[in-house]
Protein backbone atom coordinates (compact mmCIF):
# COMPACT_ATOMS: atom_id res chain seq x y z
CA UNK A 1 0.00 0.00 0.00
CA UNK A 2 1.30 3.47 -0.92
CA UNK A 3 1.65 5.61 2.22
CA UNK A 4 1.46 8.77 0.10
CA UNK A 5 -2.31 8.41 -0.02
CA UNK A 6 -2.38 9.16 3.72
CA UNK A 7 -0.09 12.22 3.59
CA UNK A 8 -1.61 15.68 3.17
CA UNK A 9 0.28 18.32 1.19
CA UNK A 10 -0.13 21.92 2.31
CA UNK A 11 1.15 24.45 -0.25
CA UNK A 12 3.08 27.56 0.79
CA UNK A 13 3.65 26.46 4.40
CA UNK A 14 5.56 27.62 6.36
CA UNK A 15 6.48 30.06 3.57
CA UNK A 16 5.76 30.61 -0.10
CA UNK A 17 7.09 27.91 -2.41
CA UNK A 18 7.25 25.18 0.23
CA UNK A 19 5.02 22.13 -0.14
CA UNK A 20 4.64 20.95 3.47
CA UNK A 21 4.14 17.17 3.81
CA UNK A 22 1.81 16.70 6.76
CA UNK A 23 1.82 13.22 8.33
CA UNK A 24 -0.84 14.01 10.94
CA UNK A 25 -3.36 12.58 8.47
CA UNK A 26 -1.29 9.38 8.24
CA UNK A 27 -1.03 9.15 12.03
CA UNK A 28 -4.76 9.64 12.59
CA UNK A 29 -5.78 7.00 10.07
CA UNK A 30 -5.64 3.49 11.61
CA UNK A 31 -4.76 1.85 8.28
CA UNK A 32 -2.23 4.52 7.36
CA UNK A 33 -0.54 4.44 10.74
CA UNK A 34 -0.41 0.64 10.92
CA UNK A 35 0.78 0.39 7.31
CA UNK A 36 3.59 2.89 7.83
CA UNK A 37 4.80 1.27 11.07
CA UNK A 38 4.69 -2.21 9.54
CA UNK A 39 6.57 -0.92 6.48
CA UNK A 40 9.26 0.76 8.61
CA UNK A 41 9.73 -2.51 10.51
CA UNK A 42 9.90 -4.53 7.27
CA UNK A 43 12.66 -2.28 5.91
CA UNK A 44 14.93 -3.77 8.55
CA UNK A 45 13.73 -7.35 8.65
CA UNK A 46 16.59 -9.55 9.79
CA UNK A 47 18.79 -6.65 10.97
CA UNK A 48 20.10 -6.69 14.51
CA UNK A 49 19.51 -3.59 16.63
CA UNK A 50 19.69 -3.05 20.36
CA UNK A 51 17.58 0.10 20.56
CA UNK A 52 15.55 2.55 18.47
CA UNK A 53 16.16 6.30 18.71
CA UNK A 54 13.56 8.80 17.52
CA UNK A 55 14.00 12.49 16.78
CA UNK A 56 11.57 14.96 18.35
CA UNK A 57 8.67 15.12 17.82
CA UNK A 58 7.11 12.88 15.18
CA UNK A 59 10.09 10.54 15.42
CA UNK A 60 8.89 9.76 18.96
CA UNK A 61 5.54 8.51 17.68
CA UNK A 62 6.99 6.47 14.83
CA UNK A 63 10.11 5.31 16.65
CA UNK A 64 8.18 4.25 19.74
CA UNK A 65 5.85 2.13 17.64
CA UNK A 66 8.74 0.61 15.66
CA UNK A 67 10.62 -0.17 18.90
CA UNK A 68 7.52 -1.88 20.25
CA UNK A 69 7.13 -4.00 17.11
CA UNK A 70 10.82 -4.98 17.23
CA UNK A 71 10.74 -5.71 20.98
CA UNK A 72 13.36 -3.03 21.67
CA UNK A 73 13.75 -0.05 23.94
CA UNK A 74 13.38 3.54 22.77
CA UNK A 75 15.61 6.59 23.27
CA UNK A 76 14.28 10.09 22.57
CA UNK A 77 16.54 12.62 20.83
CA UNK A 78 15.11 15.87 22.22
CA UNK A 79 15.38 19.56 21.66
CA UNK A 80 17.53 21.43 24.17
CA UNK A 81 16.23 21.77 27.71
CA UNK A 82 13.57 19.03 27.59
CA UNK A 83 15.38 16.19 29.37
CA UNK A 84 15.48 16.08 33.20
CA UNK A 85 18.77 14.23 33.81
CA UNK A 86 22.39 14.90 32.84
CA UNK A 87 22.59 15.45 29.07
CA UNK A 88 24.97 15.75 26.18
CA UNK A 89 24.16 17.97 23.22
CA UNK A 90 24.93 18.53 19.55
CA UNK A 91 24.43 21.82 17.73
CA UNK A 92 23.43 21.90 14.07
CA UNK A 93 22.75 24.54 11.44
CA UNK A 94 19.33 25.71 10.36
CA UNK A 95 18.47 27.92 7.41
CA UNK A 96 18.59 30.98 9.70
CA UNK A 97 20.62 30.08 12.78
CA UNK A 98 21.31 26.97 14.80
CA UNK A 99 19.49 24.51 17.03
CA UNK A 100 20.54 21.83 19.52
CA UNK A 101 19.47 18.23 20.17
CA UNK A 102 20.19 16.34 23.38
CA UNK A 103 20.16 12.88 24.88
CA UNK A 104 20.71 11.67 28.42
CA UNK A 105 24.34 10.82 29.13
CA UNK A 106 23.31 7.26 30.05
CA UNK A 107 20.92 6.75 27.12
CA UNK A 108 22.92 4.03 25.36
CA UNK A 109 24.95 1.02 26.36
CA UNK A 110 28.48 1.02 24.96
CA UNK A 111 28.53 -0.13 21.32
CA UNK A 112 24.71 -0.36 21.19
CA UNK A 113 23.40 -0.87 17.65
CA UNK A 114 20.89 1.91 16.98
CA UNK A 115 18.09 2.34 14.44
CA UNK A 116 17.34 6.06 14.00
CA UNK A 117 13.75 7.01 13.06
CA UNK A 118 12.08 10.26 12.02
CA UNK A 119 9.14 11.27 9.86
CA UNK A 120 11.07 13.16 7.17
CA UNK A 121 14.57 13.65 5.85
CA UNK A 122 15.17 16.86 3.96
CA UNK A 123 18.61 18.51 4.34
CA UNK A 124 19.59 15.92 6.94
CA UNK A 125 20.89 18.45 9.47
CA UNK A 126 18.86 17.20 12.40
CA UNK A 127 19.49 13.55 11.57
CA UNK A 128 23.22 14.18 11.16
CA UNK A 129 23.30 15.92 14.56
CA UNK A 130 21.48 12.94 16.10
CA UNK A 131 23.98 10.51 14.55
CA UNK A 132 26.94 12.52 15.83
CA UNK A 133 25.39 12.74 19.29
CA UNK A 134 24.63 9.02 19.46
CA UNK A 135 28.15 8.22 18.27
CA UNK A 136 29.66 10.50 20.93
CA UNK A 137 27.58 8.60 23.49
CA UNK A 138 29.43 5.41 22.50
CA UNK A 139 26.69 3.80 20.40
CA UNK A 140 26.58 3.02 16.67
CA UNK A 141 23.82 4.15 14.33
CA UNK A 142 23.48 1.20 11.97
CA UNK A 143 20.60 2.55 9.87
CA UNK A 144 18.06 5.32 9.62
CA UNK A 145 14.48 5.25 8.37
CA UNK A 146 12.03 7.94 7.42
CA UNK A 147 8.47 7.96 6.16
CA UNK A 148 9.25 10.76 3.68
CA UNK A 149 12.40 11.71 1.81
CA UNK A 150 12.96 14.96 -0.10
CA UNK A 151 15.90 13.82 -2.28
CA UNK A 152 16.63 17.21 -3.85
CA UNK A 153 17.68 18.59 -0.44
CA UNK A 154 20.58 16.15 0.00
CA UNK A 155 19.86 14.59 3.39
CA UNK A 156 20.49 11.05 2.18
CA UNK A 157 23.95 11.94 0.94
CA UNK A 158 24.74 13.70 4.20
CA UNK A 159 23.99 10.57 6.25
CA UNK A 160 25.55 8.18 3.76
CA UNK A 161 28.77 10.22 4.06
CA UNK A 162 28.72 9.12 7.72
CA UNK A 163 28.28 5.50 6.55
CA UNK A 164 24.64 5.38 7.70
CA UNK A 165 22.12 3.38 5.68
CA UNK A 166 19.13 5.57 4.72
CA UNK A 167 15.74 4.05 3.92
CA UNK A 168 12.42 5.78 3.32
CA UNK A 169 8.86 4.74 2.54
CA UNK A 170 8.23 7.44 -0.09
CA UNK A 171 9.80 10.48 -1.67
CA UNK A 172 8.63 13.76 -3.14
CA UNK A 173 10.34 16.02 -5.66
CA UNK A 174 11.02 19.59 -4.64
CA UNK A 175 10.92 21.13 -1.19
Which residues are the active-site residues?
Answer: 58, 95
C-alpha torsion sign, points 144, 58, 157, 174: positive
How many CA atoms within 13 Å lie on the side-chain side of 139? 27
SS3 content of the chain, % helix, strand, coil (to 5): 30, 35, 35
Alpha helix stretches (DSSP H) within 137-171: 155-160
CA-based end-to-end distance of the chain: 24
In order, the DSSP letters of 147-172 are: EEE-GGG-HHHHHHTTT-EEEEEEE-
Amino acid sequence: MDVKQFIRTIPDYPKDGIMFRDITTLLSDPVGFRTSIDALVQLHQGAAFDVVAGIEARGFILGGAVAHQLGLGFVPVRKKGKLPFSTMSQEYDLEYGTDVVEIHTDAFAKDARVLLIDDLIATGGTAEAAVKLITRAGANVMASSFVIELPMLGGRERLEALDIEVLSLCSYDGH
